[in-house]
Amino acid sequence: QVQLVQSGSELKKPGASVKVSCKASGYHFTSYAMNWVRQAPGQGPEWMGWINTNTGNPTYAQDFTGRFVFSLDTSVSTAYLQISSLKVEDTAVYYCAREIPTGTSNWFDPWGQGTLVTVS
Amino acid sequence: QSVLTQPPSVSGAPGQRVTISCIGSSSNIGAGYDVHWYQHLPGTAPKLLIHGNSNRPSGVPDRFSGSKSGTSASLAITGLQTEDEAVYYCQSYDSSLSPWVFGGGTKLTVL
């Protein structure tokens, strides 16, 4: 079945870096864009951006430029989110989600199970 | 502060019907963009429940239904079951902000 499996929880100190992986299975990886969504404690989900799995070209939401990097390894159907110079306020659950394209009515299915990144 | 506004919580007894609202604005729902709904159980992947305002993916019970009118959308759940206890999120497109926007989530408690 189509699924996204993310790497496990991370505990990092401020200033460190973290790399979260998202391994896809059950479908042709490069046929769908991959999105990243952040959910901080007690908050709703926040769209971080997406990566074109064909070209590797990333697009970042306004609040996620500079320290956030999306990348791919298509040979293992895996997307990555790297966050550098971690701050306490980066503490959140990070989700990858496959985007189903219909134009401006796109939705996300499936989602990964989430990776908790704690910065302390 | 989420772009789409949802009530923080709703509750109902088993067998009852509840609705969850999702209020947007003229740059998202009110502009005609579709609304999608997700069900999220703690520690699991959020699950697509409704897409395109009212379409249920295969496997989603017909107890779940969605609708949209004006600048808001609603998710209705009939015949409440204990396994429906979860957090529900709405999502849409926004023409003036980050393209994909979400509601803050509504926690459903089945009493």
> How high is the pLDDT of residue A83?
98
Sign of the CA dihedral running B70, B96, B47, B55? positive
Residue A46 near chain B (CB below 8 Å): yes
> DSSP code of A64?
G
pLDDT tens-digit profile of A31-45?
999 999 999 999 999
- How much is the mean pLDDT over chain A? 96
Q: Given the DSSP bridges, would you call strands A107-111 and B35-40 parallel, antiparallel or unpaired? A: unpaired
Which residues 46-65 on chain B approach chain A with CB closer than 8 angstroms?
46-48, 51-52, 57
Report pLDDT for B43. Answer: 82
Do the Cβ atoms of A108 and B48 come within 8 Å? yes
pLDDT digits (tens, 9 = 90+) for B75-91: 999 999 999 999 999 99
Q: Residue A104 above 90 pLDDT?
A: no
Please tell me whether the peptide bond between A110 and the residue prior to it is cis, using omega within 30 degrees of 0. Answer: yes
Of A50-54, A67-71, A102-106, the range with the lowest mean pLDDT is A102-106
DSSP letter (8 states) at residue A85: S
Residue by residue, pLDDT tens for chain B (111 residues) are: 889 999 999 999 999 999 999 999 999 999 999 999 999 998 899 999 999 999 999 999 999 999 999 999 999 999 999 999 999 999 999 998 788 999 999 999 998
To which H or E segment does residue A50 belong? strand A46-51
Contact A105 B33 (CB under 8 A): yes
pLDDT at A8: 97
Specify the pLDDT at position B42: 83
A31 SS3 class: helix
Cα angle vertex A112, ends A110, A114, to 5°?
A: 145
- Give yes or no for B38 touching A (CB within 8 A): yes
Per-residue model confidence (pLDDT) at position A102: 84
- Spell out the residues 6+ positions from residue A16 whose beta carbon is closer than 8 angstroms to its own: A86, A119
A1 shares contact with chain B (CB less than 8 Å):
no
> If DSSP states are collapsed to H, E and C, what string results for chain B?
CCCEECCCEEEECCCCCEEEEEECCCCCHHHCCCEEEEEECCCCCCEEEEECCCECCCCCCCCEEEEEECCEEEEEECCCCHHHCEEEEEEEECCCCCCEEEECCEEEEEC
Tell me which chain A residue has its CA closest to the CA of residue B44: A113
